[in-house]
């Protein structure tokens, strides 16, 4: 995940039983690749401990306006400048009132007044308090000032009654904030399909034919597409890698046939596809039910060709869909890559040379040449796979005029 795009989120926690859900909220933002800092009121710390907050957010908690944050005397101003979005969840009637009237008498309310970017509040309180004209008037004022209200849900309240006042679920709050932050990204609203890793073709219950693909290139692409605002479907062969971004939906497969099925299934919904997987070209014709014993001095396997998934996609792709593949070559590299681009009806091909030291399988670096169907070309230098992924995606964004 590229650090330059890491979103900075401030979470404010006020006193209310829903404060325990703020811990999940911190986790959700961290999982989505954000950096999180938390400010809490004294009352909030009756419900959740500084230790839980600091452990989950991986940052110091701000709760005492007289103590410097991170050794900075005017830390509240520094934190306010640092943040891309601020969400107060749960937001008490008291904090709504203070914010409306510009009262800054503790760490959180001071930070709120020093902050002038996208602010979300997720109120949580008893239904009668929420409906009180004072609270409703204050909310109206805040909404008019551009504060985004994440309305409380109706349901069972901690005080034992039913009504409107229960804080919205952390998943919904996180989604609302992230959607807003992503709204201006070049690929927001786009669906992307990425395949990654090797396939394993079984011979018997204990053996398979595989390859050295680590999946790093495909995973880097999936992360970077998500960073640019896309919803990503990542179809991954066997790999030890984990995906991080919450906009990535991962489907694990083992064989070329399983990758074919999952890819064909996902393809109609997506705008952009990048086939980075190293799919086996051949698979054993028969898979033995039991472990094959060593008897003869020679042993041969009958293999048959797998379906070329990328070619199948090229045949069915619509005008609006953008299709990219990789070419792994060891000789006549450019000619072969261009041939693949044309034969498989691609919009773009990424040529991976196996000859460059530090490029190709198993390495964390790669060197590629990007070639489009219109003959545009970009020759990259040896870089980390994250950076190569970023170059490929920026190239596609330009091609699609999305920047
Ligand atoms: N590919 C695919 N299905 C296959 C084999 C390859 O979708 N059964 C895709 C790969 O994901 C890659 C592209 O086709 O994007 C090119 O793969 P590569 O191994 O370079 O070429 P092949 O088409 O398999 O041809 P060859 O092995 O003969 O070079």
Ligand 1 center from residue 76 Cα (angstroms): 54
* pLDDT tens readout for residues 207-249: 999 999 999 999 999 999 998 989 999 999 999 999 887 789 9
Nearest CA to ligand 1 atom 14: 310
The pTM of this model reads 0.73
Give the ligand 1 atom nearest the CA of 309.
7
The answer to whether residue 3 scores a pLDDT higher than 60 is no
Q: Range(s) for CATH 3.40.50.10300 in the chain? A: 191-399
What pLDDT score does 4 carry?
39
Residues 34, 91, 131, 159: which is the catalytic one? 159
Mean pLDDT in residue range 258-273: 98
- The Cα 111–Cα 393 span in angstroms is 37
The answer to whether residue 392 scores a pLDDT higher than 60 is yes
* pLDDT tens readout for residues 187-196: 989 999 999 9
Nearest CA to ligand 1 atom 16: 327
Mean pLDDT in residue range 340-366: 87
Ligand 1 center from residue 259 Cα (angstroms): 13
- The Cα 330–Cα 332 span in angstroms is 7
Cβ-contact 125, 161 below 8 angstroms: no
More confident residue, 275 or 184: 275
Q: Range(s) for CATH 3.40.50.1950 in the chain? A: 8-182
Q: Which two tokens stand for residue 342?
A: 């044309």
Bridge-based pairing of strands 303-305 and 118-123 is unpaired
Ligand 1 center from residue 193 Cα (angstroms): 16
User: 191-399 in CATH: which number?
Assistant: 3.40.50.10300
Helix (H) or strand (E) holding 250: strand 248-252
What pLDDT score does 364 carry?
85
* pLDDT tens readout for residues 14-51: 999 999 999 999 999 999 889 999 999 999 999 999 99
- The Cα 202–Cα 306 span in angstroms is 13
* Size (the chain), residues: 403
- The Cα 101–Cα 80 span in angstroms is 19
b/e per residue 251-262 (b: at least 16 CB within 10 A) = bebbbbbbbbeb
Local confidence band at 2 (pLDDT 50, 70, 90 cut-offs): very low
What pLDDT score does 376 carry?
94
- Residues near ligand 1 (Cβ within 6 A): 256, 275, 277, 279, 281, 306, 308-310, 325-328, 340
User: 8-182 in CATH: which number?
Assistant: 3.40.50.1950
Ligand 1 center from residue 309 Cα (angstroms): 8
Within 8 A by CB and 6+ apart from 157, the residues are 126, 127, 163, 165, 166
Our answer to whether residue 159 is catalytic in this structure is yes
């Amino acid at each position: 995940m590229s650090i330059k795009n890491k979103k900075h989120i401030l979470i404010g926690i006020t006193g209310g039983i829903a404060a325990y859900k703020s811990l999940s909220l911190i986790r959700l933002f961290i999982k989505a690749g954000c950096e999180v800092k938390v400010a809490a009121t004294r009352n909030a710390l009756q419900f959740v401990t500084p230790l839980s907050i600091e452990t989950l957010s991986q940052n110091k908690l701000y709760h005492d306006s007289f103590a410097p944050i991170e050794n900075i005397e005017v830390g509240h101003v520094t934190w306010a400048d640092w943040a891309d979005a601020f969400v107060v969840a749960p937001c008490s009637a008291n904090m709504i009132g203070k914010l409306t009237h510009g009262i800054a008498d503790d760490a959180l309310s001071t930070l709120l007044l020093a902050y002038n970017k996208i602010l979300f509040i997720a109120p949580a309180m008893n239904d009668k308090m929420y409906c009180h004209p004072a609270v409703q008037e204050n909310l109206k004022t805040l909404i008019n000032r551009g504060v985004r209200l994440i309305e409380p849900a109706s349901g069972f309240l901690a005080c034992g009654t039913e009504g409107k006042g229960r804080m919205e679920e952390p998943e919904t709050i996180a989604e609302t904030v992230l959607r807003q932050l992503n709204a201006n990204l070049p690929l927001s609203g786009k669906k992307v399909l990425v395949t990654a890793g090797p396939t394993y073709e079984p011979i018997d219950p204990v053996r398979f034919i595989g390859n050295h693909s680590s999946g790093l290139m495909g995973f880097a692409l999936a992360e970077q597409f998500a960073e640019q605002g896309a919803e990503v479907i990542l179809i991954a062969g066997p790999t030890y890698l984990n995906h991080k971004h919450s906009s990535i939906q991962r489907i694990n497969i083992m064989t070329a046939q399983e990758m074919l099925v999952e890819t064909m299934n996902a393809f109609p919904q997506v705008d952009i596809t990048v086939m980075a997987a190293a799919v086996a070209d051949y698979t054993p014709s028969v898979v033995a039910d039991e472990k094959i014993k060593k008897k003869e001095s020679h042993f041969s396997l009958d293999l048959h060709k797998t379906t070329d998934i990328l070619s199948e996609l090229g045949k069915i792709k619509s005008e609006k869909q953008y299709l990219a593949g990789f070419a792994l070559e060891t000789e006549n590299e450019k000619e072969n890559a261009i041939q693949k681009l044309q034969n498989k009806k691609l919009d773009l091909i990424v040529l991976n040379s196996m000859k460059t030291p530090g490029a190709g399988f198993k390495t964390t670096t790669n060197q590629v040449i990007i070639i489009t169907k219109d003959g545009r070309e970009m020759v990259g230098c040896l870089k980390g796979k994250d950076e190569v992924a970023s170059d490929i995606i920026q190239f596609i964004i330009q091609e699609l005029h999305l920047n």
